[in-house]
A and B are shown apart, each in its own frame.
Chain A
Amino acid sequence: MAIHMPILIRRCDAVIKMDLIWLSNYAISFLLILILNFVLPRMMPGDPLHAIYGEEALISMTPEMEAEIIKRFALDQPWHAQLITYITALLSGDLGYSYYYRTGVTDVILGFLPWTLLLTGLAFVISSSAGVILGIESGYRRGSKLDGCMLSGMMFLGGMPDFFIGIVLLLLFGVTLGWAPLGGAVSPYAGHEGIDLVLDIAHHLVLPLISLVLVQIAPTYLLTRNAMLNTLRARFIMTAKATGLGEGAIRYRHAGRNSLLPVVTAMGMRVPNMITGTLFLEIVFSYPGVGTLLNTALSARDYPLIQGVLLIVTVTVLTTNFLVDMTYVRLDPRVRYAR
């Protein structure tokens, strides 16, 4: 064993080195986003103050407020001082001041973000797992009736725009049948507590969640099914069969597990798409999430708020991608060492 130790250590070194490179990629992306966020308003023609806050906000501003803002963003300082101020502010969680809500952007976003996270997170988990499981089952039964029905159903769903499904569901279950509330995340002034509050939240969540899941399930399903068809042709499936493994083990432990790899990659890439979907659906269901917030900010031309939302969204996308990458590495040993 002693003789082999140096080899092991060397291999660990290599892995750590690869990890560092990989992490630094994320760091660089993050920095680039920050810099863009910093540079863009300052590159607009005219006064950065105008660029950041917009004409309308400035008209209604008192000179004291204006001076306060200039001081706060160090707009009278050279650019490197501005950058340092910007980064320090960010690090302390200061995304600027929302002129529309008359409070810090961070506070505003934090009030809306949990609902979006709840909706998107749940939709992501449900659509991914359901898509994968349906894809595996459907691919394994290729050519059967079940496979055919699922395939055409999914193609149909996948072709619909997300807000459209949202509107249809809202009209059907909300307006016509009255099974679900028409909007919001909780019943206002109901004073629910404990389990009642949870049920109330779920009641409000169910329609937007279903809409989002229905739209998002199709691509995962199609990709999984396709990956299954390819994996089932691989030789190790025959090896597994010859070993006398049961159907379940072959379907999930071998074929399914291997089909997951491209699906996970695609999941990461689907996150931005999913977030846009959420933004639309939130508006359809007047769900108090970041989408609705962005909508408000856009109509009020509250530029700091818009920027803050965009920054948070990009950071979320980046984080999800990071998590997906981590998952992929756990799933595929070939990437673990080749990364």
Chain B
Amino acid sequence: MLEISGLRARYGEHEVLRGIDLMLEKGDSLAVVGESGAGKTTLGLSIMRLAGARLEGNMVFDGMNLLELSDEEMRRLRGDRMAMVFQNVEDALDPVYTAEEQVCEAIAAHNKWSRERIRERARALLTAVGLDEMRYQLYPHQMSGGERQRVLIAMALANDPDLLILDEPTASLDALTKADIVELLRSATSDRISIIITHDISLASALSKRMAVLYSGMIMEMGRTADLIREPKHPYTRGLLRSFPSMNTTKDLQGIPGRTIPRIGGCPFHPRCTQRIEICAREVPRPEELNGRLIACHRGGIVPLLEIRDVCKFFSSFPAVSHVSLTLYEGETLALVGESGSGKTTLAKIIMGLIEPDSGEILLEGERARWDAGFYRRVQMIFQNPKESISHRLNVLQAVREPLDVQRIGSEEERVARAMKALESAELSTDPEFLRKYPHQLSGGEAQRVAIARALVMHPKLLIADEPTSALDPSVQAKILRLLMDLQERMGLSILFITHDIALARKVSDRIAVMLRGSIVEEGPSGEVLREPAHQYTASLVECASICTRMAWETHVLD
């Protein structure tokens, strides 16, 4: 019923929409999400032909090509067949007319009815949107944000439109009012085509069946809302979800590096993308559909970095690792949780090539791992006890540059420079006195940071962190974890985080895999695994963590 193809919008030289394709049937609801400046509002206004931009492409609404209609024909559609609900900003309603007058006007614009009939309809609408009868005669400045939003909704619904566009309909509302409005919008959007423009992921998931992620005027990813939120496939979608506080995710908030750079060639997201390759800066990716998901990315979305396929390892006849399959994607943290002896460290050692698996295979970036120099350039490991993992005969500088020396990378100066940079990334001092210190002169936190710097000096893509903070004070642990997450945000570092502490895993991981007696018993997005553990063992781990917290709380309160 609404078919948009190749829609481009230009303000002067600046192209705000660069080829949008959408297809919506009656009853469809599509959320358009993205950062400000992505062109979301322009898209909404362009469909109404109110954007004031030069439009190209095709927009067919109910058999009419909207771009070919005259201004008068378009005016007759607006507010009648298609309507828009604006954000309840202070001046979204005309300050000099009452709520009822404005709704009446919206009805009268398309109907030649008697005054009484219009008034009757307006009052029915205002009642339907839940505005108190006492407030019909109020002026916009006398109403709360929520009430103004209701009036705006009533105005949009005035002539029972087939297409409803909602532009940030709940921004700047408090949580309870927002819940009310969302409830109202849910009923208002059923049985029409609705487009919800928002940066609020929770609103998008409440109101839409499908979701399109817009960046610099391009749809980067589109698919079923629930799928997109549970399993984002485009790096930008994942970045958006990670920056949005939600009750379903447990990982600390992370942002997206950099900011939107307008008017650049290639994929618009490439300067901020951590998995960009050479082609990304050169060519605009074409949206491609795969299993009902549309993705515009030269790399086909977030790439799997490490694939563990059906790996088994027996110590004599004891299965230390049995039939383990896991995939770790670029820029994500996978927490491997389990009690001691469950085979976590064995698995890590298999990945690192320190133990040969009996069967199965390890793939790095789609190729079988050969554990050669190239492998260790991309994969590094941090161990539980840093003081033991760094040779006591090496000082800080020597320890950090050692991997470069071993791999014979760069000249002498370059190695020192890279070591210094790695130390800075790990938030360590680079003054000569510190560089000359030996492990025994360092605190636990410093030593672990040196170990991290040593791992980072190779610019690895994957970091295997085996209980990296269990020997540290909580305050130091918090800083180290923050550091790892920052590196992940900035450079797209993938982390396999091995821990027995589920509370810790909860805060740092995107996904959790639970290991028990050498097998993965459960795997999924962290929030989901913790909220509804499918396996009995996971449930008991979560339970234990909760009991500890609760006991601590009770002790505290009883004191």
Contact = CB atoms under 8 A, between A and B. Distances in A.
A49 B142 CA distance: 58
Contacts of B76: 244
B75 A332 contact: no
Contacts of A246: 75, 109
Interface string B38-51: 00000001001010
B83 A242 contact: yes
A331 B96 contact: yes
A273 to B, nearest CB: 27
Instruction: Point out which of A239, A243, A332 has the most chain B C-beta atoms below 10 A from its C-beta.
Output: A243
A239 B141 contact: no
A235 interface: yes
B341 interface: no
B139 A333 contact: yes
Given A236-B91, A334-B141, A244 B96 contact: no
Nearest to B77: A244
Interface in B68-100: 75-80, 83-84, 86, 89, 91-96, 98
A245 B96 CA distance: 17
A243 B94 contact: no
A258 B139 CA distance: 14
A339 interface: no
B96 A238 contact: no
A331 B95 CA distance: 10
A254 B101 CA distance: 12
A243 B107 CA distance: 9
Task: Tell me the dominant secondary structure on chain A's binding face.
Answer: helix
A4 B137 CA distance: 15
A337 B142 CA distance: 9
A245 B109 CA distance: 6
A235 B96 contact: no
A251 to B, nearest CB: 13
B96 A242 contact: no
A245 B105 CA distance: 8
Contact of A242 (B86, B89, B105): B86
Contacts of A253: 105
A245 B98 CA distance: 17
B91 A242 contact: no
B110 interface: yes
Interface string A242-261: 11111001000110011000
A334 B134 CA distance: 18
B485 interface: no
A334 B139 contact: yes
Given A239-B155, A333-B141, A337-B142, A244 B79 contact: yes
B110 A254 contact: no
Contact of A236 (B77, B78, B84, B94): B94
Contacts of A257: 94, 96
A165 B77 CA distance: 51
A240 interface: yes
B106 interface: yes
Contacts of B493: none
A107 B158 CA distance: 62
Contact of A333 (B50, B79, B96, B156): B96
Interface residues of B, number: 32
A246 B80 CA distance: 13
Nearest to B98: A333
A241 interface: yes
Nearest to B88: A235
A253 B93 CA distance: 13
A323 interface: no
Nearest to A334: B141
A235 B155 contact: no
A27 interface: no
A235 B92 contact: yes
Nearest to A257: B96
Contacts of B79: 242-245
Interface string A316-339: 000000000000000111100100
B197 interface: no
B381 interface: no
Interface string A225-239: 000000000111011
A258 B78 contact: no
A249 B50 CA distance: 16
B91 A234 contact: yes
A247 to B, nearest CB: 8
Instruction: Point out which of B84, B95, B142, B156 has the most chain A C-beta atoms below 10 A from its C-beta.
Output: B95
Contacts of B83: 242-243
B50 A238 contact: yes
B92 A239 contact: yes
B197 to A, nearest CB: 13
A332 B89 contact: no
A242 B94 CA distance: 13
B47 to A, nearest CB: 11
B326 to A, nearest CB: 50
B106 A243 contact: yes
A243 B161 CA distance: 11
B516 interface: no
Contacts of B155: 239, 243
Contacts of B91: 234-236
Contacts of A334: 95, 139, 141
A236 B106 CA distance: 13
B355 to A, nearest CB: 65
Given A4-B134, A333-B141, A334-B139, A241 B94 contact: no
A290 B79 CA distance: 56
Nearest to A236: B94
Contacts of A240: 94
A242 B95 contact: no
B514 interface: no
Contacts of B75: 244-246
Contacts of B86: 235, 238-239, 242
A25 to B, nearest CB: 23
A331 B45 CA distance: 31
A254 B156 CA distance: 17
B152 interface: yes
Nearest to A260: B96
Instruction: Point out which of B91, B92, B142 has the most chain A C-beta atoms below 10 A from its C-beta.
Output: B91
Nearest to B72: A246
11 contacts: A236-B92, A236-B93, A236-B94, A239-B152, A242-B84, A243-B79, A243-B158, A244-B110, A249-B105, A333-B96, A333-B139
Given A239-B93, A244-B76, A333-B98, 9 more contacts: A235-B91, A239-B155, A242-B86, A242-B156, A243-B78, A246-B75, A257-B94, A257-B96, A333-B96
Q: Ordered nearest first, which 7 A-B pairs have the shortest CB separation?
A: A244-B79, A244-B78, A243-B79, A333-B139, A242-B84, A236-B94, A243-B106
Interface of A: 4, 234-236, 238-246, 249, 253-254, 257-258, 331-334, 337
Interface of B: 45, 48, 50, 75-80, 83-84, 86, 89, 91-96, 98, 105-106, 109-110, 134, 139, 141-142, 152, 155-156, 158
